């Protein structure tokens, strides 16, 4: 007797996730074995970038799930706690990312401030870009400077808007007519790695410069450049090489490209590039190329780190309370009760576009989703437009959206460190199982007809579609979905739709 399609697909997904997790474990074990007693690694080339390779290994161990008590991690911490020997852009940017990934809060604030200060002071003021800092400026150093400054900002270190806007303007000048980006201004061949680097830069700018007048004046130009860059990648993407804009030409730095691709797509919330499921294609290629000792490229530490950072999808921070899996990556479930991922919703499954919204309600960083502001478990029918939201002075407001993403700051008012509520109705012809697909920026909780069904405090950097899921049971007739979305800073959005368990449209 044939197995049901849903079960077959779930088993296949489980097998894929297990393969990826084994590869991550083996890769991390290789890094721990290859580490020196002083917390550094040899890059097999020279010692000019020793701090950079050490910072990259540090970040990779964190993102591979190696705990602070592990001897390898202790060696990293002894090397970098209170570190002030900043001298290169790559190492400083990566080290800031590592400190942010540790999630130790104020304990690393001084480290973040020192690294961010060094980066701000070492930007080339003529070009507004970064170099090593020796040699000429380039887009690669610039990407890691901005990734580092972005990480520092998430630790409470200010990133001056005018400063960032100057760099955005400089990055845009490196875009070629066909949409790709080049390494330097005097290089006319676009590559996949530099195009992905530029797209990450533009997405970081979008997160930080929302509402900043000089950025808003050029926002359409920046967004057009981003669309053209992703279109360039979609046309040329391949998982086994770093593509270039010249026919038949492939550039080196393959694993660097894959990590740059992960940066760009994750920051922008892009799960697919046209027909390319970029994560699955990249992961399959990496799984097939891993060496028997757990490394990539015959023991190359740098390539191994980039491979592991791609596999781990290092942008997302997973809460211990998460009840979801990433659709384009194999992040392990937070507990054994998390169900296997069902088939993705088909294209004809509609997004929810009629909403009632209320807020914002001030929240606390220590417990962002904890306070009940509207009587969360009592909302079992759709609110009325203008009706008071709970006992507060806030009122429900009906909103119809044309896009799939509900922009809560546009629907209400701009807010930070606060929550907003959004309710909608799903009509079912019968009692049936279904799947709620959603993405949110930042954390969120959800209720179905007054019953809790979902909670995830993940920090998200862009609201896409179908990133998380929750199995639900619909009753005949109207079913009320209530969402609570927390915004730490920047944008705040919600995207949701409901499919049948096999991914098809509901009856």
The pLDDT value recorded for residue 56 is 96
- Region of residue 233 (phi > 0: left; psi between -120 and 50: alpha; otherwise: beta): alpha
Parse the chain into domains and list their residue ranges: 160-280, 354-499
Answer whether residue 196 shows pLDDT above 60: yes
Nearest to 144 by CA among 200, 208, 223: 200
Residue-wise pLDDT tens digits, 374-386: 999 999 999 999 9
Residue-wise pLDDT tens digits, 31-45: 999 999 999 998 765
User: What are the two backbone dihedrals, phi and then psi, of residue 251, each rounded to the nearest 5 degrees?
Assistant: -90, 160
Neighbouring-strand partners of residue 306: none
Neighbouring-strand partners of residue 484: 421, 445
The pLDDT value recorded for residue 330 is 31
Task: Tell me the C-alpha distance between 463 and 266, whole Å.
Answer: 10
- Three-state DSSP class for residue 476: coil
The pLDDT value recorded for residue 45 is 59
Are the C-beta atoms of 291 and 299 separated by less than 8 Å? yes
User: Is beta strand 493-499 parallel, antiparallel or unpaired with respect to 432-441?
Assistant: antiparallel
User: How many CB atoms are located within 10 Å of the residue 142 CB?
Assistant: 27
The pLDDT value recorded for residue 251 is 64
Across 1-5, 279-283, 397-401, least confident range:
1-5
Across 9-23, 162-176, 404-418, least confident range:
9-23
User: How many CB atoms are located within 10 Å of the residue 100 CB?
Assistant: 24
Are the C-beta atoms of 95 and 56 separated by less than 8 Å? no
Residue-wise pLDDT tens digits, 72-111: 999 999 999 888 889 999 999 999 999 998 888 888 999 9
Q: What is the pTM of this model?
A: 0.67
Domain 354-499, what fold?
Answer: Jelly Rolls (2.60.120)
Answer whether residue 462 shows pLDDT above 70: no
Are the C-beta atoms of 457 and 443 separated by less than 8 Å? yes
The pLDDT value recorded for residue 25 is 92
Handedness of CA 312, 313, 317, 322 (dihedral sign): negative
Query: Distance of alpha carbon 265 from its chain centroid, rounded?
Result: 7
Share of the chain above pLDDT 90, in %: 65
Could you give the angle at the alpha carbon of 60 between the alpha carbons of 26 and 280, nearest 5°?
Answer: 65
- Region of residue 103 (phi > 0: left; psi between -120 and 50: alpha; otherwise: beta): left
The pLDDT value recorded for residue 246 is 65
The pLDDT value recorded for residue 105 is 80
The pLDDT value recorded for residue 248 is 46
Are the C-beta atoms of 424 and 440 separated by less than 8 Å? no
Task: Tell me the C-alpha distance between 237 and 239, whole Å.
Answer: 7
């Amino acid at each position: 007797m044939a197995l049901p399609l849903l079960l077959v697909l779930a088993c296949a997904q489980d097998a894929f996730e297990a393969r990826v997790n084994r590869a991550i474990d083996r890769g991390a074990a290789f890094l721990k074995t290859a580490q020196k007693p002083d917390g550094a690694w040899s890059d097999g080339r020279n010692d000019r970038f020793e701090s950079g390779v050490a910072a990259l290994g540090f970040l990779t161990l964190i993102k591979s799930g190696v705990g602070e008590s592990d001897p390898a991690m202790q060696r990293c911490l002894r090397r970098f706690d209170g570190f002030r020997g900043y001298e290169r852009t790559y190492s400083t940017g990566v080290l800031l990312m590592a400190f942010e990934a540790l999630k130790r809060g104020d304990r690393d604030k001084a480290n973040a401030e020192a690294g961010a200060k060094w980066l701000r002071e070492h930007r080339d003021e003529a070009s507004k870009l970064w170099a090593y800092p020796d040699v000429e400026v380039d887009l690669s150093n610039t990407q890691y400077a901005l990734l580092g400054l972005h990480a520092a900002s998430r630790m409470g270190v200010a990133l001056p808007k005018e400063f960032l806007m100057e760099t955005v303007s400089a990055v845009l000048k490196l875009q070629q007519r066909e949409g790709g980006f080049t390494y330097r201004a005097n290089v006319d061949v676009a590559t996949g790695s530099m195009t992905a680097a530029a797209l990450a830069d533009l997405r970081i700018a979008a997160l930080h410069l929302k509402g900043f007048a000089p950025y808003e004046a050029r926002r359409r130009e920046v967004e057009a450049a981003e669309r053209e860059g992703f279109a360039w990648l979609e046309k040329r993407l391949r998982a086994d090489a770093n593509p270039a804009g010249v026919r038949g030409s492939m550039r080196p730095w393959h694993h660097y490209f894959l990590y740059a691709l992960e940066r760009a797509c994750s920051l922008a919330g892009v799960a697919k590039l046209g027909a390319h499921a970029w994560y699955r294609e990249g992961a399959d290629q990496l799984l097939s190329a891993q060496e028997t000792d757990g490394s990539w490229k015959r023991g190359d530490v740098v390539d191994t780190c980039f491979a592991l950072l791609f596999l781990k999808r290092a942008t997302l921070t997973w809460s211990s309370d998460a009840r979801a899996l990433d659709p384009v990556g194999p992040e392990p479930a937070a507990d054994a009760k998390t169900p296997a991922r069902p088939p993705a919703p088909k294209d004809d499954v509609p997004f929810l576009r009629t909403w009632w919204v209320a807020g914002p309600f001030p929240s606390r960083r220590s417990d962002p989703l904890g306070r009940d502001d509207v009587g969360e478990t009592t909302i079992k029918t759709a609110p009325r437009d203008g009706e008071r939201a709970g006992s507060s002075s806030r009122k429900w407001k009906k909103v119809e959206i044309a896009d799939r993403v509900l922009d809560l700051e546009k629907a209400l008012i701009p807010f930070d460190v606060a929550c907003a509520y959004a309710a909608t109705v799903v009509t079912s012809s019968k009692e049936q199982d279904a799947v709620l697909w959603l993405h949110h920026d930042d954390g969120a909780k959800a209720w179905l007809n007054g019953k809790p069904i979902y909670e995830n405090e993940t920090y998200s950097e862009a609201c896409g579609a179908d990133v998380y899921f929750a199995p639900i049971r619909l009753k005949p007739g109207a079913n009320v979905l209530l969402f609570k979305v927390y915004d730490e800073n920047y944008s705040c959005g919600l995207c949701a739709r409901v499919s049948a368990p096999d991914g098809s449209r509901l009856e």
